[in-house]
Amino acid sequence: MPEPRILLVSNRLPVTVKTEHGKTKAVPSPGGLATALRGPHEQADSLWIGWPGDTSRVEPADRPGLERQLASLRCHPVPLSPTEVAHFYDGFSNGVLWPLYHYLTDKVEREAWSNWRAYVEVNQKFAEAIQSRYRPGDMIWIHDYQLSLVPAILRNRLPEATIGFFLHIPFPSSEVFRILPWRTEILQGMLGADLIGFHTYSYLHHFSRALLHVLDLPVADGMVRLGHRQALLGVFPIGIDAPEFEALAAEPAVQEDARQIRAGNGPRQMILGVDRLDYTKGLTRRLMSIERLLEREPAWRDRFRYVQLIVPSREKVDAYAALRRELDELAGRINATWGTISSLPVHSLYRGVSRERLVALYQAADVMLVTPLRDGMNLVAKEFAACRHDEGGVLVLSEFAGAAAELVEALTVNPYDLDRMALQIKRALQMPDAERQSRMRSLRARVRGFDAHLWAATFLEALRAAGGQRLVPGAAPQVSDEAELEKILERILGFAHLHVVLDYDGTLVPFADTPDLAIPDPDLFSLLQELAARPQTQIHLLSGRTRAGLERWFGHLPIFLHAEHGFWSRAAGSRDWRPLMAGPPAWLPRIRSLLEKVTRETPGSMIEEKSNGVVWHYRLVEPDFGHLRAAALLQTLRKETAQPDLEVLEGEKAIEIRRKGAHKGMVIQRLFEESAGAAQFLALGDDRTDEDMFQAIGAHGVALHVGPGPSMTPYRLENPPAARAFLRRLLAGGPRNVHPKQEVSPTHER
Ligand code: ADQ
């Protein structure tokens, strides 16, 4: 019996047939979907079913050759007549669903009933084509808004088939979606699938609200009950073929092309835009923000050039032809006003370029503008990051692109706010190299971590599971005072051997969006340096961060460093890190893979690796979703806490799983023993992990809690600036020289 396969189904095949001057050829299809699925299709045992483009002008003699070519690419064509293309594709898919799902309701075609009929018929045609190639055991994966009725049509015909559906564009707020006269049919069509996937949690959330509002169907635990069967909903942010882009970016010819593009720009920075010609991509507003920047900063006319590459698409839809005229007029106006004899600020090129040229442009750009009004994901943003081996270039990204939920180190803009967008472009052009690199390094790690192959594999794994639990089992599964401060300072000033033990994040610096962005500032360096120079005083930085991280930022200072909550320690001036215990815990690989799965399913979250444990951060995840995922993860981890050497800590938007007993209190204990009981401590910390050191200090010093959370110590410093002000008072020698008031307040009852 033949092996089961994956049937990929999309409106377009990955190649489009073109007939010019009587000659027929198959060229790669444009657009994000074809680009993203091409790699997984090449590596999997799959058959791709879709429209091959206009084949009506193919000469009879060329047909067998074309069929052979498609078969060799494992493509099964679904031919569509020109009338079907006009009504189903241009009329309904791109004239009604596309603008509505992107919140551009004024672009929705008014007279669409005949188009709707064609939409139904073509969806049936696709279902028939799938059925004709289906073999029991195959998994069917249907893509995008053009085919939303196919899952239900197929479910009727193939009740046992495993069917998945993925929406590549946004699913709008239910208030916008319910404008659609055919809302019921579309929702019911999608619900024929066992698994329905979206790029972001917010699209899934809107879809859930639409099910409730339109069909009165509640979603519980990401699951919808449909009589005796159920459908699962999931978040699967699409990635790019990162290895392919990285390889292209490493090619000497591509790098030489990038060098020549840069040389052609002279001293000017290059701002780049790469888009399909589409009113959702925010091209007009992008040009207007460039004009706004020039109006505010006329001197900048010689400092940059903006190159916009636009690949034509959907040329038969009126709104697209009108857009091109509008863009031409605007670019002409800007160039006429701001151009000089030798330079023009705006260069628009209406053409698709080769992969190699595209990568060279990504590499040559100083600033990449990806500012759609709405975008399901946006792959250009990811491609740009993948191509930047040099860790240069700034990504300016619309907050209305699905990619913004993941690419959190980009400079975000609201494309409707032209003034702020102009300011962000200026900020990008002026960004210091260190910040560019730090942001790009993180962006690259995200793009590499979740590429198109992993995306497809993750969806298919979830689809297989969803197919296995299609039928509902028996029961439905449901889901401070000044006087006190003076006393403290007096006490500390009396300590003969003072050990100042300081936590970093949340204590000395406020929390940043990601750990890499919580960079120490010159004022902190000089404070630590001055504290270390104080007689009879040792300064210890005791953080949850890794050795490399602490070494990179604080290695040059004469202070003691303790990484991973004190599991690793290093004396002032030494490079010799010593561990508290030997070997990584046995459970580490299993817990790591559990967290990797959770991270894959939670866009914006990330894993921090430690030699002694692992941390899952969800600060940048959409809040509701982050809490849901964190609660589910804690539930799963409860089973693990029976192990004697494992403990789970709930941090600030982070869950840490670490080896039990390797905590900050151990460092205090060791320092006390090493000093033969002479050491006295001043400890500052902000979170649960600092409580261990507070407890260990006991009567041997003073513990101060920084920030709003609960603590065992009765003293609280309001925030990192107050913590630094307190340390400066200590340096100044006493409370008499000090002015700020009320930084210390008794902590609240726990
Ligand atoms: P698209 O709307 O097509 O995709 P996008 O994700 O940006 O948008 O993909 C465009 C693709 O075309 C990229 O791979 C890019 O490299 C390529 N491209 C654009 N201009 C080009 C040019 N001038 N020359 C050569 N290549 C060019 C839809 C959704 C998106 C979603 C994808 C995938 O609208 O939101 O990210 O599907 O799910």
Q: Looking at the domain assignment, is residue 178 inside a domain?
A: yes
The closest of 366, 371, 347 to 430, measured between CA atoms, is: 366
- Higher-confidence position of 259 and 20: 259
Q: Is 172 in the pocket of ligand 1 (CB under 6 A)?
A: no
- In tens, the pLDDT along 166-186 reads 999 999 999 999 999 999 999
Q: 274 alpha carbon to ligand 1 midpoint, in Å? A: 9
Q: Looking at the domain assignment, is residue 612 inside a domain?
A: no
Question: What's the pLDDT score for residue 728?
Answer: 95
Instruction: Answer yes or no: do 250 and 346 share one domain.
Output: yes
- In tens, the pLDDT along 411-442 reads 999 999 999 999 999 999 999 999 999 999 99
Instruction: Answer yes or no: do 345 and 203 share one domain.
Output: no
Strand partners, 613: 610, 658
CA distance 616 to 657: 8
With a cut of 60, say whether residue 41 has pLDDT above it: yes
CA distance 317 to 91: 8
Question: What's the pLDDT score for residue 1?
Answer: 62
Instruction: Answer yes or no: do 387 and 288 share one domain.
Output: yes
Q: Looking at the domain assignment, is residue 576 inside a domain?
A: yes
Name which residue sits closest to atom 35 of ligand 1, judged by CA: 376
Question: What's the pLDDT score for residue 56?
Answer: 86
Task: Look at 24-38, 403-417, 429-443, 560-574 and tell me which has the smallest mean pLDDT.
Answer: 24-38
- In tens, the pLDDT along 306-317 reads 999 998 877 777
Q: CATH number, domain at 682? A: 3.40.50.1000
Instruction: Answer yes or no: do 55 and 189 share one domain.
Output: yes
Task: Look at 134-148, 467-481, 582-596 and tell me which has the smallest mean pLDDT.
Answer: 467-481
Instruction: Answer yes or no: do 223 and 266 share one domain.
Output: no
CA distance 155 to 195: 12
122: exposed, middle or buried (Cβ count in 10 Å: 0-12, 13-18, 19+): buried
Helix (H) or strand (E) holding 600: helix 588-600
CA distance 165 to 232: 10
- What's the rounded mean pLDDT across residues 68-72? 92
As a whole number of Å, the CA-based R_g of the chain is 30
- What's the rounded mean pLDDT across residues 699-725? 87
The structure tokens listed for 683 are 């400890």
Q: Looking at the domain assignment, is residue 64 inside a domain?
A: yes
Query: Which residues are the active-site residues?
Result: 503
CA distance 207 to 735: 60
Q: CATH number, domain at 52? A: 3.40.50.2000
Band (253; pLDDT cuts 50, 70, 90)? very high
Question: What's the pLDDT score for residue 750?
Answer: 31
Nearest ligand 1 atom, CA 349: 23
Name which residue sits closest to atom 20 of ligand 1, judged by CA: 275
- In tens, the pLDDT along 492-535 reads 999 999 999 999 999 999 988 778 889 999 999 999 999 999 99
Q: Looking at the domain assignment, is residue 351 inside a domain?
A: yes
The structure tokens listed for 618 are 């969800």
Q: Looking at the domain assignment, is residue 366 inside a domain?
A: yes
With a cut of 70, say whether residue 195 has pLDDT above it: yes
Average pLDDT, the chain: 90
Domains held by the chain: number: 3
Task: Look at 285-289, 362-366, 678-682, 737-741 and tell me which has the smallest mean pLDDT.
Answer: 737-741
Domain that holds residue 11: 6-77+125-235
What Å distances lie between residue 178 and 181, 214, 446, 490, 593, CA to CA? 8, 7, 35, 68, 40
Nearest ligand 1 atom, CA 311: 23
- What's the rounded mean pLDDT across residues 3-16? 91
- What's the rounded mean pLDDT across residues 597-621? 91
SS3 label, residue 45: coil
Instruction: Answer yes or no: do 502 and 522 share one domain.
Output: yes
The structure tokens listed for 536 are 């009879």
pTM: 0.73
Instruction: Answer yes or no: do 373 and 256 share one domain.
Output: yes
Amino acid letter at 192?
G
- What's the rounded mean pLDDT across residues 601-623? 89
- In tens, the pLDDT along 454-504 reads 999 999 999 999 998 888 664 222 215 677 888 889 999 999 999 999 999
Q: 282 alpha carbon to ligand 1 midpoint, in Å? A: 14
The structure tokens listed for 175 are 């208030």
CA distance 399 to 324: 24
Instruction: Answer yes or no: do 224 and 308 share one domain.
Output: no
With a cut of 90, say whether residue 598 has pLDDT above it: yes
- Taking a C-beta distance cutoff of 8 angstroms, is the pair 108, 96 a contact? yes
> Which residue in this structure is represented by tokens 């920047």?
293
DSSP 219-246: EETTEEEETTEEEEEEE------HHHHH
Question: What's the pLDDT score for residue 741?
Answer: 31
Helix (H) or strand (E) holding 334: helix 318-338
Nearest ligand 1 atom, CA 383: 16
Q: Is 373 in the pocket of ligand 1 (CB under 6 A)?
A: no
Question: What's the pLDDT score for residue 119?
Answer: 97
The structure tokens listed for 483 are 């006087």
Q: Looking at the domain assignment, is residue 632 inside a domain?
A: no
Instruction: Answer yes or no: do 364 and 226 share one domain.
Output: no
Q: Is 406 in the pocket of ligand 1 (CB under 6 A)?
A: no
Q: Looking at the domain assignment, is residue 120 inside a domain?
A: no
Instruction: Answer yes or no: do 227 and 274 share one domain.
Output: no
Q: 169 alpha carbon to ligand 1 midpoint, in Å? A: 11
Instruction: Answer yes or no: do 299 and 327 share one domain.
Output: yes
pLDDT above 90: percentage of residues in the chain: 71
The closest of 61, 93, 98, 77 to 26, measured between CA atoms, is: 77
- What's the rounded mean pLDDT across residues 188-217? 94
Instruction: Answer yes or no: do 286 and 216 share one domain.
Output: no
